[in-house]
A and B are shown apart, each in its own frame.
Chain A
Amino acid sequence: MKPELNNLLHSLKQSIIQGQVDEAGPLARKALASGLEALQVIEKACVPAIEEVGRLWEAGDYFLPELIAGAEAMKAAMTVLQEALKSAGQSLKSAGRVIIGTVEGDIHDIGKNLVASMLRASGFEVIDLGADVKIDKFVDMAERERADIIALSALLTTTMLNQKKVVDLLVSRGLRDKIKVMVGGAPVTEKFAREIGADGYGESAVQAVSVARSLMSGRGGSHG
């Protein structure tokens, strides 16, 4: 690859890592105009950039503002690149379809929003039902949207048990083997997740992405 193309990819990657929302989009456009393929740009600049943002956050070097800015910059670049794919008659394979929300009785949404942003930035299709979401609604929406994963957030000891109710409802409706469940939130632990029969637990928004990926690889397929 020509050095100037490499430099361009490097600049785009840096703009995402540094959360420069206004620059990531134009840089992605410039990369396309210079003859780079959209898929190549995604693989060589965007994906490694968002992974680096996640790594910096997990290491404690980045905090919530930097993480959000990185995810937003990623989104700006991906919007441009996905448009290009679409007009070329191609489309990016979805990493998976996720229904996400905070369970009934709980109006905390910061953590859930963070997980939604990171999942989107990592190529998942995310349907965000918001906070204080009824048990049935998760299951109804997951069935209707043919979701691969239901992601449940709970921030209170009094509401975390609603995560179990979603799992139980999936069982009673005979959908348990079709839809994976992942859980998170301050009081939720790996042990709790196991006890309620969830498929995965993420301690942080970054971990949530790797949990979602591993759940998808376990399914051996995804919606196109």
Chain B
Amino acid sequence: MLDIKKLTENQILLLDGAMGTELFRVGLPPGHCPEAWNEEKPEAVASIHRSYFEAGSRAVLTNSFGGNTLKLAGYGLEDRTFELNLKAARLARSVCPEGGYIGGSIGPTGKFLKPVGDLTEGRLVEAFRPQVEGLAAGGVDFLLIETQYDLREALMALRAARETSSLPVFVTMTFSLTRRGYYTMMGVSPEAFVRAMEENEVEAFGANCTLNPADMVGLIKAFRSLSEKPLIAQANAGQPQVRSDGSTFYQLGPDEYADHIPGLIGAGARVIGGCCGTSPEYIKKISEKIVQFSDKIG
């Protein structure tokens, strides 16, 4: 079984970059369920995984970010949860090179627990359970509960993961840099997050999305001051911009993004990947940067 502590003792585990924008690039129609493509267009999904491995990713994440029953219900696919996740895992596994790893992506449901919304904790665990089962049956090496903003929801996904699999579990939450410091949308502080991760003995944890790599450095430092666990950093490529022809791009190019990687490693990040706006090109640049700094990681 993947031992993330050992694996990152003196090296970086490089994850992949964005999946959603890559899917759109290869033709996913807007409004179409991304997870449905695991069976409708398996070759398109596999080609994205392959391009990330070729760019230098040591682990890629399955196309299952919205693969919980509550999100899939938006497309009338809730009964297919297990199979779509199983296929997501098998697809990634089918292009995984020797020494590579597959992480099962588990994103948020987009619904809120009481009192903000009307979800119960039990309902949430049930929403994640068949997803975990599908990913585990499809052969992932670890689970990544990602882009979470409500600590309670993250912990319910973790409960589903622990109850239905023996896989290592990583958790990332999405923080903003507010006037009062780093907080998630629901007001979770880095301290509360780290405490919960320690208490629940997750194998690794960290931050993804929203922050650019420069702003993420301070957050990773805060995590490091509170925990010895392997830390994950997946920043956005800055803010999206619009060209005069109407097409969109992200503020930070691959080279600029990669320039921030030593800062993230210096802050304590050991598992690194991209988020919104990143692509195989970014991963390639990050990979080259990591090689240059590999002797300084310890």
Question: Which A residues fall within an 8 A CB radius of B?
Answer: 21, 59-66, 68-69, 104-110, 132, 156-162, 164, 186-187, 189, 191-192, 195
Contact = CB atoms under 8 A, between A and B. Distances in A.
CB-based closest 8 A-B pairs: A105-B30, A63-B187, A157-B248, A187-B240, A60-B178, A157-B240, A60-B179, A60-B180
Contacts, number: 66
A187 B239 contact: yes
- Give the one of B115, B210, B240, B250 with max A CB within 10 A: B240
Contacts of B30: 104-106, 158-159, 162
23 contacts: A59-B179, A60-B178, A63-B183, A63-B186, A64-B186, A64-B187, A65-B116, A65-B187, A66-B187, A68-B116, A104-B30, A104-B31, A105-B29, A105-B30, A106-B30, A107-B31, A107-B74, A107-B110, A157-B277, A158-B248, A159-B30, A161-B248, A186-B210
Nearest to B71: A107
Interface residues of B, number: 26
Interface of A, helix, strand, loop or mixed by DSSP: loop
A106 B74 CA distance: 12
B246 interface: yes
Contacts of B110: 107-110
B187 A132 contact: no
A122 B239 CA distance: 30
Interface in B3-61: 20-21, 24, 29-31
B35 to A, nearest CB: 12
Contacts of A159: 30
A21 B248 CA distance: 42
Given A105-B31, A157-B240, A161-B246, A64 B21 contact: no
Interface string B59-88: 000000000000000100000000000000
B248 A187 contact: yes
B2 interface: no
A157 B21 contact: yes
Contacts of B20: 156
Given A60-B180, A157-B250, 6 more contacts: A61-B180, A68-B116, A105-B31, A132-B31, A157-B240, A187-B240
Contacts of A65: 115-116, 186-187
Nearest to A19: B115
Contacts of B187: 62-66
Contacts of B240: 157, 160, 187
Nearest to A66: B187
B242 to A, nearest CB: 5
Nearest to A191: B242
A162 B115 CA distance: 33
B115 A158 contact: no
A164 B248 CA distance: 13
Contacts of A61: 180
A160 B116 contact: no
Given A65-B116, A104-B30, A189-B239, A158 B186 contact: no
Contacts of B277: 157
